[in-house]
Every structure is written in C-alpha cells, then in structure tokens.
Amino acid sequence: MSGDASYGDGSAGETLWDARRQQTLDSVVQRGWLAESDAQAAFADYRDADSGVGFASYLLARGLLSTSQVASLSEGEAPGPVSAGDIQPGQVHSGCEILEKLGQGGMGVVYLARRQSDGAEVVVKFLAASQVANRAGLIRFLREAAVGAKIDHPNVVKVYGVEAQGSNPHLVLELVRGKDLEERIADEGALPASEVVRIGLEVARGLAAAHAVGVIHRDIKPGNVRQSESGAIKILDFGLAKAVESDEGVSLAGQILGTPYYMAPEQWGEHQVDARTDVFSLGAMLYHLLTGQLPFPGKRPMSIYRKAAAGECLRPSELVDDVPPALELVILRMLAVDRRARYERASDCVAAFEAIAAGAAAGAGALRIPSLQDQRGALFPLVPARVHVIGRGEEADVQLDHNSVSRAHARVSLGRTGYQLVDLESSYGTSVNGMRINDVLLKAGDAVTFGKQTLRFDDGGIGAQPPRSAEAEQGRLQVSTLPEPFIQHLVEGKDRRVVIALMERLPLPTIEDRVAGGRDFLRGLFGGELAEKASRLLRAKLLKRRQAAVRSLFQITFENLEEGTEDWLGWWDEHRGEYPPQLAPQRLRPEVRLRVRGEASGQERVIQLSERYRTTIGRDA
C-alpha cells in the first residue's frame, strides 16, 4: 500500500484509488505530456509492477514525467483524510511500516520504517504539511527523488522510491546510522588533517558521480554529509540539486539557495552554477572541519557574501597547527573567487586528495595550484582572491624579503584572458623571461623577476582548459544578443557593424530550430496545447523580425539581396575584408585580382574578382 492507504480497505477505497489513477492517466494525455498509446502502455506496466506508489510517482521514477509536471498534477487534488502531522507508528506508506520519528526540519519530517518486502530498515521522509500546497516546495521535494534516483554511488544516499500524490508526499531513502559532520564538529571541534583528507576524497567521489549524470548539489555542508557507524561517508539531501539542462523555474534571481557560510559567490543572485559551485562548497566545508572555524564568518548574509566574493579568509595554518601544506593549498584553490581558478570538476578534487593521501608535496603537479614558486621550492598561491599584490611590505599578498623588491612591486590578477602581470612603478622593475615589462599576460612556466628575485609562474592548468562561452553550463546553450534599441540605433546611423547581427536573423533553419526547442521546453512545463500556441506566436515574431532585417540591410547597404543568406555572406566577403567572429577566426582575406595585359598595346588592366560576381574573359566579353 502507498501513502494513500488511508483511503481505506474494501471496495469503496479501491474504487476511489482506481478513479484517481484513471484521472492521472487522462490528465497526462490531455496535457500532451505523453501520447495516449505510451500512457496506456506505462499504465499497464504500472499495474503489473504493483509498486505500491501512485501512478504519477511511477511515471516520475521512470523519467516519463518531470517533477514540475507531477507537482502540477498534485495541485488539483483534494486532500486525503490523513494530514502530514498524523503519521503514526504502525501506518504503512509505500510498502514501509512506520516505526518511530527520527527528526523534523522546515521542509520535511523523517521517520524510521521497516520495508515489508524484505524487513530492511529504511527512512521515510514526508514533505512538511506547510509545504504540501506550495508548488515550489513540492517540486524541490520531488526533485530530491528524481535526481537522487539517477545516482548510484556508495558515497551518495540511495533513493528507493517516491510517492508524489495524495496528502502525504514522501521519499523512501537508505538508512545511514551515525552522525552528520555538523554533529562531529560540535562534539570534537577541528578534525585531524588525515580525517579531513579522507572525508574530502569520499565526498568528492560522490559529487563526481552526481556531476557525471548532470546533477549539481548546491548545498554541500556538514549537515548534509553523514558518517555511518562503519565510517563510510554519505552525501544527503539533494532537495536543492539542479539538473544542468533545466531548473524547472524554481530558482529565481535574488533568491538565496544554499547555506550562506558554504555558498560560492555565483550562487548569490543569478544562480549561474555548475560543477565548480559544488567544488567551492566542499572546500568551505573542509576548511571548517580542519580548523573548527568558518572560512567566511559573519552575522548577516551580505557580510558573508562580501568576504566570499573577495576571497578574504585566513589560511588554515594561521588557525591551527600541523596543517599539511598540500592540503591547505588544495582547499584554498577550491575556495577561489573566480570559478576558472578552482578545480574544474569534482574528479579533479579526487585526484588531488588521492595525491595528498599518497604523500604528495605542496608543489606537486597533481595538485595544480595557480602560484609563483621560488628557486628553493617555496610556493606562493594565487588563490583564493582574484588579485594579488607582490611586494616587500606587510600589506602585500605575496611577500618577498629582498631589498630590490619594492613595498608594492607588482600586481597579478586573473582577467578574462588569463593571469595579467602589471608592474606598479617599482624601483628595480619587473621582467618576464629576461624582458622588462609594464603589463603582460603570463604563460605557464614563465620566469618572473621582481627586482632581483626570480619566481616561476604556474597557471594551475587554467590555460589548458577549453574556453567556456559566457560561462555556459554543460548541456545548456546560452545566447547573448544586442538589445533591440541599440540595433535600431545602429541601423538608423547606417553603421555597417550591425550588418552581421541582422544577417543572423535570416536563416530559416535557425528560426525553425529555435521554435522547435521552445515548443519542446514549454510542452514539458505546461502541456501540448499551450506549447503549440506559444511556438506559433514565437515563429510569427521571428519571421516578422526576419523581414525587418531585410529592410534594415537595404537601408544600410542599398543592396536588394532579400533573404538570401549566401548572397549577404558574399557581400560581406567583398566589402569587409575579414571574417566576422561568428563565422570564423579573425584574419584578413587577400583581395583576388586578375591582371590582363594586351599583346599589341602593352596596356595592363586589373580586374577585381569576387565570389558574388561572375567575370567572363574573352575577345567578345
């Protein structure tokens, strides 16, 4: 029986239960989420499986419905006779007999239960009564099941089942007896470095498994990591997790999603998160475990944010003794303000922790720390802050004790194209590979001399990373366009720089692809009818903008090439002299000429050749 077992035994209860199943089936088909034949086949499989959960939950578990779709089905349901606060020992939900209450939080209530099929002890987590009618809260609760079911890894708590419908939505989870890391910090204070390395390695392995299936946790913190009685480390609570291909409309700009003390700078506001966001949170948690103190303490969220966004934290070795230098450097890199300076994937963290466990030194290549290193092997990290001042004064971030080094000698900062070195009008100057400089982009392996002291630069592998367009997340296309008023202003001024932006509006295949993508996305959220209507409106808008682009192109160029994209590219070839960056790397294109010299007269004529025009050569041409 499921959480809807409270509808009673006997024919009346069965009739109501079957009616609700049929209602779900009809709704799924009517909204265009599944074809009728597919829905009927899934319904037949559902009956045969006798899984003990509602039909919508069954479709969610099989990946046939999204969490937002299931939530919208649940919105119109009448509440059952049992409220979330009436869960009692002895009740059966999703085939699990409730034994006792384990705890309660703002989002849910957790019970110990026994699975009837095999007698195994499990956890049943019910959505809090205050959240059942809250669509965003219900979606996040269901998302914990949807994303958790994707991940099969020993360092991630298993999700056995979900019941999405009725008055008591709940999850059936793996039981992990033991303590969460928040309890360990409260009981033990700072943990030994070797234990921090072990925890970091196991959590990084669990996160790598999540990232491999496109899931970002977004709330890694001590309270969401549990250590079992046997010592195994398990990641809990994917309620804030985000699938990189869709956030289902529940992460809004301005919201704070996560726990402020462990949140990456990019989580504050626009939520442009990726795997490196979890890397930051893991680094903040490990800092706390290692030192017993928070990396960015503060009484108010914005004061915490300002410190995190500036990279203002003490080194762990300034707070506790016997911190291995390699471990400190890895944590500092994980806490980098700029995501490019962090480890790019959790699997990179796994490699770093494995190297530390094997005894790697601070300068080991496996740790890949952006840094400056002197001839004695001393390493000066260029993380977590974006900007580091090199000098002899106490205020310098990298302090060099040499008389030829000025108090504020030079500045290294991570810019859009890499690490930039700027001399700060020092007395003895700054050189790179023997050449004196004022401002230069550093490359891995450069020998940088400040006054008379030389250090070797290491970019930590950042230069080898493939470029990310506008910080696009994996699996998500992000398009940046000029604002329409700005384009219109350039058109009115007959500015030919806007021609390529107008040309991009011409290809019909691009318009059809955009319409199809929008239709598919909206169908998953609102159903087929609304998606079709919206896609028709979008297509009409794009075609209208295409016609306006043709008129604007004529207004600028006085060429009547209509919608012919290839003709316009030919025009561009002839008049601009270089490829636009949207089409190819910037390079000057040679002009093609044909020189014709008359045998009798000796006169020479130069003919300009173009792909756009056909040139005929002959006696009568």
Among residues 471, 490, 539, the alpha carbon closest in space to that of 511 is found at 539
Distance CA 511, CA 114 (A): 55
Q: How far apart are CA 401 and CA 514, in angstroms?
A: 59
Residues in the chain: 621
- Count of C-beta atoms within a 10 Å radius of residue 253: 7
Could you count the other beta carbons within 10 Å of the beta carbon of residue 105? Answer: 12
Rg (CA), the chain: 31
Three-state SS string over 125-167 comes to EEECHHHCCCHHHHHHHHHHHHHHCCCCCCCECCEEEEECCCC
DSSP state of 131: G
Residue ranges with strand state E in 207-299: 215-216, 225-228, 233-235, 242-243
Helix (H, G, I), strand (E, B) or coil at 570: helix
User: ∠341-347-348 over CA atoms, to 5°?
Assistant: 35
Q: Catalytic residue at 219? A: yes
Report the C-alpha gap between 132 and 470 in whole angstroms: 38
Maximum Cα interatomic distance, the chain, rounded to a whole number of Å:
112
Distance CA 14, CA 10 (A): 6
181-188 vs 275-291: helix crossing angle, rounded to 10: 20
Helix axes 346-357, 193-212, angle to 10 degrees: 150
Tell me if 443 sits within 8 A of 455, measured CB to CB.
Answer: no
Helices 528-557 and 565-576: angle between axes, nearest 10 degrees: 40
Token reading at 546: 């295409």
Candidate list 4, 219, 237, 446, residue with the active-site label: 219
CA dist 4 → 18, 58, 169 (Å): 12, 14, 9
**Nearest-angstrom CA–CA distance, 10 and 7:** 10
In this structure, what are the phi and psi dihedrals at residue 172, rounded to the nearest 5 degrees?
-110, 120
8 A C-beta contact, residue 468 and residue 452:
no
Buried-exposed string 360-392: b where 16+ CB fall within 10 A, e elsewhere:
bebbbebbbbbbbbeeeeebbbbbbbbbbbbbb
Q: How many CB atoms lie within 10 A of CB 291?
A: 23
Nearest to 113 by CA among 134, 87, 138: 87
H or E segment to which residue 389 belongs: strand 387-391
Closest CA to 474 of 274, 267, 278, 338: 274
CA nearest to 502, candidates 594, 419, 568: 568
- Which residues are known catalytic residues? 219
